[in-house]
Structure 1
C-alpha cells in the first residue's frame, strides 16, 4: 500500500475492539492520518481494515513479531513514521502480598519491556520523520492505587523511562509525550480478574477487594471515544504556552476521569492521596479488624 507523503503516519499498539487503542485509530483517521492498527490477532481488526486502515499483526513481547512489523511498516511508509503510540498494556490487580512472580514478569513484559522494545526498533523511522512517541501511562503511576502495586510499578517505570528518553532523543527532533490516563470506560474484555488465595491476609475484606477489581469500570464517566478524540487533538495540535517561554513543549498530558484531581493532589502532597484512597478501598476497615484481633 502506497501512503501519501502529506498525511501523517501513525502506528498504534494494542488495538483490541472496545479499548482505547481501537478508538485512537478512529480518531487519528478522522484527522486525516494514515493509521497502522496492530494487535496480536489482526483478524479482530477487520472493521478498521474495512475503513481503510492498515492492519498488521504485532505482539510487543515477541522480538520476532516486532521485527516483522517494523519491516512491513518501513516498506509501507518508505522509511518514515510520524507517530508511535505505545498503547498495548495489561491490567494487574492483586495485593502485593499475594503476587505470583511469573505473572508479574508477564505484565512487565507487556507494559514496560514492550514499550522499550518498540521504541528502540522504530526509532530510526521516527528520527527520519522527526516524529512523536506517545507512551500511555496512568494515574496509577503516582497514586497509591490499592491492590494495584504491580500495575502501578509498570506505569511508574514508563514515567521514568520517558523522562530520560525524551532528553536523549530530543537532539534528533523526536518528541516523547506521556499520557497520564485517568478513568476511561472501556469494553475490550481483556482484563484479568485475579482471585485472592485462601491464605491471603486480605480475605477478611475480600468484598472490598472484589469492588476494587471493577472500580475503574464502575467509576469511569469518560468514554473511550471522547478520551481518544481529545488526546489525538492534543497530540496533533499541541498549544502549550510553555513552548515559546522555555523552548520545550509540555509533553505530559493529564486526561480522563479524576486526572485533574490527581494532578492537583500531587501538588498538595502525597498524604492527601494516602488519606483518601486508604479509606476508599477499605483499608481503614481492615486496620480495625487487625487491631481488634490483637486486643483479643
Structure 2
C-alpha cells in the first residue's frame, strides 16, 4: 500500500490501520516532512513528490525490493485544497491542485500498474463529496475530485479484466490537514463577492463537524480489504445527505441549499 501521509492526516491514519491488519505499508512524504510518526510504528517512509516522474520511478524501484503478499493496495492521497470563488480563481493555484490531486494518481498508476497486476491488487482513490455537489468556494477542489472520480470509473472497467479492483472513496467531512493551506486566505479587494468578505474569512477558518481520521480509516480499510469491495464507497460526515440528495433530488436543490447556507442573496442587495 502506498500513499502520502503527513502526521495527523488521512494518510497517517490509513497507514496505521493497514499496519494493524498485518499489511506492509509503504508511505511517501515530501522532503521537508518529518517521518518519525511512521518509522517508529514500523511503517516504511520514502521521500517522493507525486508531481515528478523521477520520484515515482524511484519509489517503484524501492517498493520492488519489499516483497510481501499483503503489499497489494495503492491509495492516492486526499490532495491539496484551494478555496476561492470561481471568478476570482488564480489559475496557477488550480494547476498545482490538478498536478497533485489528479495527475498524481494517474502518475502512480502509470508507474505501478505492473506490480498491481502481478499482485492482483487494488487501487483506492480518495475522492470527496465536493466532487458530487456544488459546494460554494470549493469549485476548484471540487473539479479535481470530480475528475478523479470519473477517471477512476473508467480505470475500474479497464483494470477489471487484469484482476485489479478500483475503488472510489467518496469522503465526507474528515478532520484532516487539507484546510490548513487556506487559513488566512482573503477575497481580492475588487471581487464581486466583496460583500461576503467577512463570511469568506470565517469560512476558511471554520472547524466543521467531522469524522475523525481514525474512524475514517477503519471504515475505508474495512471496505477495501473485502474480496469484492464497492465500486464507490461513501464514508464520513455529510455523506448520507449528499448521497440521498444526489440520487433523489433535482440538481437545483443544491443551488437553494448552498445559496441559503452561504448567504449568497446578499450579493443581490
Rounded Cα–Cα distance in structure 2 between residues aligned with 1:131 and 1:42: 30
* CA distance 1:183–1:78, shift in 2 (3 Å): closer
Task: Pick the aligned partner of 2:213 from 208, 215, 224.
Answer: 224
* Within-5 A mapping of 1:30-41: 30-41=20-31
Q: Is the 1:134–1:178 contact (alpha carbons within 8 Å) kept by the matching residues of 2? A: yes
* CA distance 1:105–1:173, shift in 2 (3 Å): same
After TM superposition, give the deviation of residue 212 of structure 1 in Å.
2.4
Q: Is the 2:131–2:149 contact (alpha carbons within 8 Å) kept by the matching residues of 1? A: yes
Q: Is structure 2 residue 218 aligned with structure 1 residue 233?
A: no
Q: Is the 1:137–1:159 contact (alpha carbons within 8 Å) kept by the matching residues of 2? A: yes
* CA distance 1:128–1:80, shift in 2 (3 Å): farther
Q: What is residue 198 of structure 1 aligned with on the other side?
A: 189
Q: Is the 1:162–1:178 contact (alpha carbons within 8 Å) kept by the matching residues of 2? A: yes
* Within-5 A mapping of 1:45-56: 45-56=35-46
Residues 34-70 of structure 1: CA distance to partner in whole angstroms, max 9, x if unpaired?
1111111375121210111111111001111111111
3-state SS in 1 of match to 2:166:
strand
Rounded Cα–Cα distance in structure 2 between residues aligned with 1:114 and 1:121: 11
Q: What is residue 233 of structure 2 aligned with on the other side?
A: 253
After TM superposition, give the deviation of residue 188 of structure 1 in Å.
6.7
> Which has the higher mean CA deviation after the structures are superposed, 181-190 or 167-176?
181-190
Name the larger-Rg structure: 1
Task: Pick the aligned partner of 2:170 from 161, 164, 180.
Answer: 180
Which has the larger share of helix?
Answer: 1
Q: What is residue 272 of structure 1 aligned with on the other side?
A: 253
TM-score normalised by length of structure 1: 0.85
Rounded Cα–Cα distance in structure 1 between residues aligned with 2:60 and 2:103: 17
Rounded Cα–Cα distance in structure 2 between residues aligned with 1:267 and 1:189: 28
Corresponding pairs, count: 267
Structure 1 unaligned runs (5+)?
A: 1-9, 244-248, 290-296
